[in-house]
Amino acid sequence: MKIYLEKYNIEKRVEDELESLDKDEIEVLEKTGKINDSFYWGLNFFFGGVGGDLGLVIVLAIAVVFDTYHPHSLLYFLLAFLFLIIGEMILGIELYGIGQAYNEGLLKKGGILVTSVVTSIIGFILAYMGLGNVISKLKSGFVTTTITQQSVQSSIHQIGVGSLNAYGEAHIVIYTPSPTKIVSAEIVGKSIVSSFIIPNLLSPGNNDVTIHFGTITGLTPNATYTIKLTLGDGKTIETTVSYKP
């Protein structure tokens, strides 16, 4: 019974760690798939199993003391124990998945150990510490940074560094997730503008774009310059080129 109480206390700490996240952070976890339905099912299985086992242990203890053993008590206990095993397996798998998603070694090890009733108490201790590390990452902007990076990758942007030659031709590679029009291009700081862009209508994916600025002077060989592109929707993006005369 002492073991069950200890496991319940550890699991309660894990629940408290989850509750320390505010609503927005929980939504981020759920939207990124880090906490999903099976994770909550695992928690429910575990709480149900531990609660059932604790109750039955108390009932059996009372039955032994007062000699009021019920013929079905052992069956109920075994069913609750099976319920507990299933819950720990599901929860262990989900804890491991969260640890893998956030590269948290303690949580992964804890998840593996939680799947076994024999080692689950050690697993919950490791999972408790690992989950605390994951929550610290969340609160420090780990998830926000990841989502921001994904957002950048899904928007229009330059691939690599382009080139600019002495004839005023700039060659850049632009990625766009949807058809996009380039209206004009400007070499920032030099007031050199051009609307002679081939192609000026970009298709989804990577596009090799050539911008003709005409004769240019006053640029430093091997220096890098910023070319600002104005898009059809009025937005602008900045690209980088290396001047090689």
In SS3 terms, the chain reads as: CHHHHHHHHHHHHHHHHHHCCCHHHHHHHHHCCCCCHHHHHHHHHHHHHHHHHHHHHHHHHHHHHHCCCCCCHHHHHHHHHHHHHHHHHHHHHHHHHHHHHCCCHHHHHHHHHHCCCCCHHHHHHHHHHHHHHHHHHHHCCHHHHHHHHHHHHCCCEECCCEEECCCCEEEEEEEECCCEEEEEEEECCCCEEECCEECCEECCEEEEEEEECCCCCCCCCCCEEEEEEEECCCCEEEEEEEECC
Residue 239 confidence class, pLDDT cut points 50, 70, 90: very high
What per-residue confidence (pLDDT) applies to 152?
A: 42
What per-residue confidence (pLDDT) applies to 150?
A: 44
CA distances from 33 to 10, 83, 89, 98, 198 (A): 24, 25, 19, 9, 41
- Spatial distance between the Cα atoms of 206 and 176, rounded to a whole number of angstroms: 7
Q: Is beta strand 236-243 parallel, antiparallel or unpaired with respect to 205-212?
A: unpaired
- Section 229-235 average pLDDT: 91
What per-residue confidence (pLDDT) applies to 22?
A: 47
What per-residue confidence (pLDDT) applies to 10?
A: 53
237 - beta bridge partners?
A: 229
Tokens 């610290």 map to which residue? 136
Domains contained in the chain, CATH given: 2-149 (no CATH), 156-243 (2.60.40)
- Spatial distance between the Cα atoms of 200 and 229, rounded to a whole number of angstroms: 11
Cis peptide preceding 245, ω within 30 of 0: no
- Say which range, 55-64, 98-107, 170-179, 235-244, has the weakest mean pLDDT: 55-64
Q: What is the mean pLDDT of the chain?
A: 73
- Spatial distance between the Cα atoms of 2 and 192, rounded to a whole number of angstroms: 78
- Say which range, 20-24, 180-184, 197-201, has the weakest mean pLDDT: 20-24
Q: pLDDT tens, 24-77?
A: 545 555 554 545 555 555 555 555 555 555 555 566 566 555 555 556 666 666
- Spatial distance between the Cα atoms of 12 and 54, rounded to a whole number of angstroms: 14
Q: Six-digit token pair at 227?
A: 């070319």
- Section 111-120 average pLDDT: 80
What per-residue confidence (pLDDT) applies to 92?
A: 80
- Spatial distance between the Cα atoms of 161 and 224, rounded to a whole number of angstroms: 9
What per-residue confidence (pLDDT) applies to 95?
A: 77
pLDDT of residue 158 exceeding 70, the answer is: yes
Q: Is the dihedral of CA 66, 67, 71, 74 positive or negative?
A: positive
CA distances from 153 to 10, 34, 53, 146, 205 (A): 40, 20, 50, 11, 12
